[in-house]
Structure 1
Amino acid sequence: MESDKRGLLRHEQVKLLYDAIPLSILATLINGVVLVAVGWDMVDRMASISWLATLMVISFARLALTFFYRRTRPGLEQTGQWEIYFTIGSIAAGLVWGAAALFQFPEHSMAHQVFVAFIVGGMCAGAITSLSPLSLQLFSFLILALAPLIVRFFMVGSELANMMGEMLLLFLIMISISGLRIHRNIKQNISFRMQSEEQETLILESHLEQQAILDNAPVGIWLVGTDGRYHFVNRTFCDAIGVAEREFLDGTDPGDLLGGGEAARQWLNADRACFEQDGACHSLETLTFADKSEHLLEVTRVNIRDNTGKITGVVGISADITERHQAEERLRILSQAIEQASESIIITDKAGLIEYVNPSFTRITGYTPEEVLGEKPGVIKGAGQSPEDYERIWKTVTAESAWNSTIIACRKNGGLYPALMCIAPIRDENGQISHFVGIQQDMTTNKALEEKFMQAQKMEGIGILVAGIAHEFNNMLAGMTGNLYLAKTEVADVPSVVKHLENVENLSFRAADMIKQLLTFARKGMLVLQPFDFTLCMHAAFQVAREGMPDHISFHTEFCEEKLIVKGDCAQFQQLLINLINNACDAVEGVAEPMVCLRVEAFEADDEFMRNCPEVGDSQFVHMSVSDNGCGISDEEKAHIFEPFYSTKGVGHGTGLGLSMAYGMVQSHHGVIEVESKPGNGSVFHVYLPLLAEENADALGDEDSAVVPGKGEVILVVDDNAAVRRACSSVLKRTGYQVLEAADGFEAIELFTANQDRISLIIMDVVMPGLSGVDAVERIKALSPDVKVIFTTGYDKQEMLNSKLTSDEYPVIFKPFSIVKLSQMIRQQLDV
């Protein structure tokens, strides 16, 4: 290292020597020409010219050497070689100037001799500055140039010459001392400059290293001055924001650089706020990056001070924790999911010791975490699992397989419950089993739902049975009512016979109502819903029911004074009320002070009601309750009272269909029916129906009892039941119409095609073998789009009729139908 420094110093000294040659050559040539010119007449001209020529050759040679030096730019290893070249040149120059004492020294002119001394002395004085970088070259030139002249003056021998010789000798000594001092100063300056350059290099390298560290740091770093401007930003911060460093440092508004908006404003406010605080400021902040995405940053700011303690700026460091925050958020959600899960979750270590249980574990089993943590799952009571079962489970999960099964589990209090259990291994990052997780689902509710589903299937089976017989039964009733009408018209003059026929007719329609209720119970009937005043409807039903109640039963009623409008079938709800009152009367039999209460009121559902009845979407209801102080109903009986053919009454008392039909009817009206009862404390049946916003209901009046006669129009009657078809045809003919009959849809199309100009109306049965009435009408419409049709049905699923025809496109009349109503519907269609 030391030798390298010496070599570099020598290199710089040689460089200074060559840098000074051009100026010294110029001075040499000027002084040489002046010296020759002044002594032109005093010395031998030939010798003088030869001296000058020699001086010029040496000078141009040194100048050429300088040119090649600067052109080749030699390195440290060539320094010695070029130093030798320079030394030879300087010695040659010194010898030429020393030769001036021989060739340019006039013998007889002291003035010219002094002038020669002045010129040579001046060259030596000038050499101090040009040759001082190296002492050898300086002293060799001075001695070679001045020594011959000093000797020549002493050889003259005069007092004045001796004085000149002494002065030149003294001058040689003085300029040698000065040259040595300058040499030392130059050498020292070069050393200082080299040290300074070395320090600058080290500082620059250190700065570049620090800059590289700051730029490549995985965090954003910035410096904000008291003027609110950025004085430093590292590359990480610039790349994240998408703004070049020069834009941060050129005075641009920082708010614009950070994208503007609320996030940028809060960021700058946080920078400013740190000026007012001592110590570090920590915060979590969001900032928009170059890709327009929002990133969460963990920011630390600290103010910096000068030597006087004055705050000069704030340094900020931001770490992007977006991914970490997202990972933590996912872990939090996962943790919360486990904490909030309704299933019991246990996590054990590899040895089977419990490390974690969630809150549902305590809720389901009754064990607290303190009782089971650090223990094996065997501490939990079990039922139905033998030690062999546990051994088999352990072998399954340790073989890296999940174990699933339904079990009978046991709570801390000894209660048993069905459960679905899953145990699975948890693997670490190396794929090795580190823990086990057990998830247990309490299947008590599911078991109840399964039982309800089985009950629903049983109800569905009964519904299918009811639906299967309804169509044929209603067809038979339709045939009966039609023939009864014809019989009444034929014996109209025998009142007693007419009375008996009307009784049979009424029984037929009551039988039809019973079938309608059965269909409603099975939820397979087609309801004709219309708004009505529920209070008035129930008041009328109460009057009927009151007539049949024993006199010893005390009956209380509370009817709401305001109108309560619901949409439904008033007759069905009247039958429902009568059934509930009859059941209440049966329940209070044998009670000392029997009492039955009826209440009708408005009801606004609360949160508890909505939780218990999630299937209803309304909040405003009509609430009807029928209560008694009778024998009550046990919990076991309450689980079955809405099932068909289930009855708590003795044999011969009740069919077991009343409450089941009530349940089906309320359900079909989107309502709720509930029962509250305890043995010995009476019962309360609650019925909730959605309340309409309408204030007025259609008046419930009796239909016009007069048959509307026909005007000879041709009506096509289509029905696959011959008895119904013949009875309907006979009635229509008796009423004043002409009739064509068809036994199925295909025959109806043929008859209509042949007589479409004559046929004014079609009475079409919906359900027929081969081609249904709906499909037959569709084909007939292709022939005559304006055809008029009345559909008849003993039973049909609503969707069968609605699949191709809208419900209001053609009217529908249900079997058995009233002859009066049928005649009115026919007239309405024909008179349109």
Structure 2
Amino acid sequence: MSTEKQQQAPAIQAGVTVPKARDCANEAVQPGRQLVVHLAADGLTVRCASRDACDVLGCDAAALCGQTIGDLLAENSPLPGASAILRARETGEMQTLVEVDGCDGPEWCVTVEPVPGESEAVAAFIYTARDMTAARAAEEELIRTRRELTILNQAYPALSASLDLDHVLITILDEAQRLIQVVGCSVWLQDVETGELVCRQAAGVKNNVIRDWRLAPGQGIAGWVVRKGEPVVVPDTLTDEHYFQGVDNQTGTPVRSIMAVPLRAKHEVIGVLQVVDSETDRFGQDDLALAQSLAGCAAVAIENARLHRRAELEISERRRSQEDLASSRESFRNVVSNNSDGILVVSPDGEVRYANPAAEALFGCSVEALRDGRFKYPVALRAGFAREVDIESVDRGRRITEMRTVETGWEGEKGFMVAIRDITDNREVEEQLRQSQKMEAIGKLAGGVAHDFNNLLMVILTSAEFVKEELEEGTTAQADINDLLTAAMRAANLTRQLLAFSRQQALEPRVVELNEHIGHTQKMLRRIIGEDIELSFDGASELGLVKVDPGQIDQVIMNLAVNARDAMPRGGILSLSTCNEQVKLSDPSLIEELGSAFGEYVVISVGDTGHGMSDEVKSRVFEPFFTTKERGRGTGLGLSTVYGIVRQHEGYIRVETAVGQGTTFKVYVPRFTDEDQAAEDDAAKVEVPHGTETVMVVEDEESVRRMMAKLVGSLGYKVIQAPSAATALELLEQTGDPIDLLLTDVVMPDVDGVALADQVRAVYPEMKVLFASGYTNDQLSGRGLDENAAILMKPFTRDRVAWKIREMLDGAPPAAQP
């Protein structure tokens, strides 16, 4: 602009001077570009311009001042909104417009304001152009922030409405879907122990199958976010290497865009909020900002829920611990109170601080008395004490106890807990067991002796029978042989009595006249009961017969006699009697008491003049191991054995007693009727059966084997003898003729009869086997002998072996067998 034109410019009026305009222009330069140009009254001459205006126009302030701006009003003028200057000149009014410099250029707010002079004419124009880009961005940021805060203020009450973690997670997903409007979303939380990410909740994904999915550390988009600690936006999953394609395959939901933001609590990433959509490039910066804000609230809600859950667990655990402690204390009280052992808590100086009810029963005095008293056994007041101690019970006398002591505290003071167990009954049972074992040992000894006796008697009886057959009837020699046979049979009966005493005799019932039998037993009874007890026997005339095992009946009588003896320690009368009795339908009380059917019985009564029994003792008298005798004087098995033997004979037993009036046991045995006797007589008239079959006799004792072979041979059988099982097996292989029956002893050296029978049957399964033994059933049962095996008990007579062999060979007992 030329100097001449500058001189033609009108002066500024109304107090507007050029220095003042320059100051205004310079002061207008503020953060964010602001262009200020002071024009003269013609609206064309530049008086001054701000630094930003000079920069835009490409010249300095000094060069610009005084020039016209006509060239600035061209179409491509760098001065934004220059057209407003022309309109202000034309109208004399302030002009304002907004102009954007290109597509991505700054936004300008242009104002041209006329400055009136003293005569109210326009003295100058002030052109101002403000760069509104930063302000607009700040305004938009403010609007966005207000929008986010509004949304989060709406979402936060829902997130904080519950402290249940699952409910919080569902609410987070509901809010994410509502705010961001996506196909699906999910919350992944980190497993602290494994480092894996676990999908705790998912929404919008088909069938919700990704719930509880686990991703290895760093796997997938969520894993990447956790590892990096930064949010990520995936515009297109098809081109992203981190995307886990399994979601598409498993859910059938096409995922093309993903946005995932970390969930942070106390500066640590605890999980990931992930949203997905089926469109590509779905998420912008606003969505990311919103998701991050939502994730911040969600992380707080999740952490609160977790803290609440931990607090609940701690409170629950504390409550459970308190309940367990209270229950434990109550259980301890119950255990101590209900314990069968007496328990005392005693101070070091012997003062009883606590006593349970069992201690009351043990010492025979009240709990209060025990607590108020002093402990009488100071030897036990030391930790680790464990010993048997005899105590005195007020109502039960001397008791044997086992005391154990531990040191304990009681109400803040040192003390001792003493557990006292009454072992008196245990000691008595142990004594009974020792007595029972002693009796068992005596029984085994008696069984062994009886076996030897039976073998000897076998030879004597068999030899005597053969000698008798060769003598003429009525001769003195035959009478002597008869006496020999009678003595041998009495010896056999004596052996049975010995076995009966040891309770090992096998049951061999036979018809017996009890008066005669008891008469033979009296000698043994007198030796058992002693000299200070009188024995009387009253046998009924015309007493009926019974079919019993004589040895077992002897045991019944002896046990009852021993029991009666013990009931009369200062002597008395033991009375035995027999009678016939008929139990009728008109006597239902007797039938009910005996448990018996009506019919005819022979009754054996064993009475004493002892101290008698109370009703309580009477009700338990047949129980095994029950005894009222002093320690070491009884096993408690005698009467239970009597009961078992009587019931085995289909009989019954009755007790009549009263305290101070003695006791009488009545044994009811079924009477052997006339019809039974007739059958027995008919059988006796039948001729002893013979045979022609081959019998092998195996017996290790030579004299017994020779007599057995002679006896069997006298019945017409062909006999092969063998002294051992090995010889028997050799003879079986060598002989050409079939052997029909194996008659073998059971107990033999090396291989016994049972093993021999098993080996023979393996080769000759049709061969019959008959065992012979002088041992008892109890002793044979341990050798594997079948309970249905055929056995001949030694000593046996010629008639007995004849019928038994025939029974074995014919397969069934003969109809007329005696």
> For residues 521 and 120 of structure 1, what CA distance do their matches in structure 2 show?
153
TM-score, length-scaled by structure 1: 0.51
Quote the residue 1:764 is aligned against.
744
Q: Distance in 2 between matches of 1:485 and 1:621?
A: 43
Superposition pairs for residues 271-310 of structure 1, below 5 Å?
Answer: none
> Identity percentage over the alignment?
19
The aligned counterpart of 2:115 is 150
Residue 662 to residue 354, structure 1, CA distance change in 2 (3 Å) = closer
Amino acid at match of 2:359: F
Which residue matches 2:78?
none
2:115 is aligned with what amino acid? I
2:720 corresponds to 1:740: yes
Counterpart selection for 1:367 from 352, 365, 368: 365
User: Distance in 2 between the 1:55 and 1:815 partners?
Assistant: 144
| Aligned residue runs from structure 1 range 291-440, under 5 A | 320=316, 324=321, 332-348=330-346, 353-373=351-371, 379-382=374-377, 390=379, 393-394=380-381, 396-397=382-383, 402-412=384-394, 415-426=397-408, 435-440=415-420
Residue 483 of structure 1 corresponds to 463
422, 437, 456: which one aligns with 1:457: 437
Whichever residue aligns with residue 380 of structure 1, its letter is F
SS in 2 for 1:704: helix
Question: Deviations 1:321-341 (Å, cap 9, x if unpaired)?
Answer: 695456665555444333222
Specify the alignment match of 1:292 in structure 2: none
- Secondary structure at the aligned position of 1:364 is classed as helix
Aligned to 1:684: 664
Match of 1:631 among 602, 609, 632: 609
- Counterpart of 2:740 in 1: which secondary structure? strand
Q: Which residue is equivalent to 1:183? A: none
Residues 474 and 413 (structure 1), Cα distance of their counterparts in 2 relative to 1, 3 Å cut: closer
Partner of 1:116: 88
> Is 2:390–2:401's contact at 8 Å kept on the other side of the alignment?
yes
Match of 2:800 in 1: 821
Question: Which residue in the other structure is 2:708 paired with?
Answer: 728
Amino acid of the residue matched to residue 477 of structure 1?
L
Q: Note if contact 1:467-1:524 (Cα within 8 Å) is conserved in structure 2.
A: yes
Q: Distance in 1 between matches of 2:485 and 2:637?
A: 27
Give the Cα separation in 2 of the matches to 1:699 and 1:328. Answer: 79
Shift of 1:442: 1.1
Q: What's the Cα RMSD here?
A: 7.3
SS at match of 2:365: coil
With over 3 angstroms needed to count, the CA separation of the structure-2 counterparts of 1:824 and 1:523, relative to structure 1, is same
Separation in 2 of the partners of 1:714 and 1:781? 16
The 5-angstrom pairing of residues 606-755 of structure 1 reads 630-633=608-611, 664=641, 666=643, 680-685=660-665, 702=680, 704-705=683-684, 706-755=686-735
Please tell me whether the aligned partners of residues 406 and 418 of structure 1 are also in contact (alpha carbons under 8 angstroms). yes
The structure with the greater share of residues assigned to strand is 2
> Secondary structure at the residue paired with 2:425?
helix
How many Å separate the matches in 2 of 1:483 and 1:777?
A: 28
C-alpha contact 2:497 2:554 (8 A) present in aligned 1: no
Amino acid at match of 1:441: R
User: 1-side partners of 2:796 and 2:806: how far apart?
Assistant: 15
**Residue 437 of structure 1: CA displacement?**
1.7
The structure-2 alpha-carbon separation of the partners of 1:778 and 1:165, relative to structure 1 and needing over 3 Å to count, comes to same
SS at match of 2:737: coil
Cα deviation, residue 450, structure 1: 2.5
Aligned to 1:3: none
DSSP-derived class of the 2:748 partner: coil
Residues 559, 642 of structure 2: 8 Å contact kept: no
- 508, 515, 518: which one pairs with 2:495? 515
Give the CA deviation at 1:354: 3.8
Pick closer, same or farther for the CA change 1:414–1:765 going to 2, 3 Å: closer
What SS is found at the alignment partner of 1:735? coil
Question: How far did 1:731 drift?
Answer: 2.2
CA distance in 1, matches of 2:564, 2:351: 63
Count of residue correspondences? 585
For the Cα contact (< 8 Å) 2:604–2:668, is it kept in 1?
no
Q: Which residue is equivalent to 2:80?
A: none
Q: Secondary structure at the match of 2:404?
A: strand
Q: Deviation string for 1:623-672 (max 9, x for gaps)?
A: 9997677512579xx999999xxxxxxxxxxxx99x99876565578989
Per the alignment, in what secondary structure is the counterpart of residue 499 of structure 2? helix
**Letter in structure 2 aligned against 1:818:** T
Q: Tell me which residue corresponds to 2:263.
A: none
Measure, in 2, the Cα distance between the counterparts of 1:755 and 1:746.
14
- CA distance in 1 between counterparts of 2:477 and 2:609 reads 47
**Match of residue 66 from structure 1:** none
CA drift of 1:827 comes to 1.9
Is 2:385–2:404's contact at 8 Å kept on the other side of the alignment?
Answer: yes
How many Å apart are 1:459 and its aligned residue? 1.2
CA drift at 1:819: 1.8
* Unmatched tracts of structure 2, length 5 or more: 1-27, 74-83, 100-107, 131-135, 172-187, 193-197, 208-310, 523-534, 625-632, 671-675, 812-818
Q: Deviations over 1:1-58 (max 9, x none)?
A: xxxxxxxxxxxxx9x985xx8xx99xx9xx99xx9xxx9xx998xx79x999999876
| SS of aligned partner of 2:419 | strand
Instruction: Compute the displacement of 1:501 (Å).
Output: 4.9
Aligned equivalents of 2:808, 2:538: Cα separation in 1: 53
Quote the residue 2:425 is aligned against. 445
Counterparts of 1:768 and 1:215 in 2: how far apart (Å)? 85
Query: CA offset at residue 220 of structure 1?
Result: 12
The 5 Å alignment of 1:218-297 reads none
Partner of 2:238: none
Q: Distance in 2 between matches of 1:660 and 1:43?
A: 143
- Any conservation in 2 of the 1:631–1:679 contact (CA below 8 Å)? no
Would the alpha carbon gap of residues 199 and 813 (structure 1) be closer, same or farther in structure 2, given more than 3 Å must change?
Answer: same
1:797–1:542: structure 2 CA closer, same or farther, 3 Å change rule?
closer
Whole-Å separation in 2 of the counterparts to 1:666 and 1:699: 27
Supply the AA of the counterpart residue of 2:367. P
Task: With the length of structure 2 as denominator, give the TM-score of the two structures.
Answer: 0.52
CA distance in 1: counterparts of 2:414 and 2:737, whole angstroms: 88
54 and 816 in structure 1: CA distance in 2 versus 1, 3 angstrom threshold = closer
In 2, Cα distance between equivalents of 1:506 and 1:441:
60
1:469 offset after TM fit, Å?
0.9
Q: Matches of 1:99 and 1:369 in 2, distance apart? A: 125
Counterpart amino acid of residue 723 in structure 1: S
SS of 1:379's partner is coil
What are the within-5 Å matches in structure 2 for residues 44-193 of structure 1?
115-117=87-89, 121-123=93-95, 146=113, 149-150=114-115, 162-165=119-122
Give 1 or 2: higher helix fraction. Answer: 1
Q: Distance in 2 between matches of 1:700 and 1:222?
A: 101
- Contact in 2 for aligned 1:764/1:790 (Cα 8 Å): yes
In 2 relative to 1, CA 627–717 (structure 1 residues): closer, same or farther, beyond 3 Å? closer
Report the CA distance between 1:736 and its aligned residue: 1.2
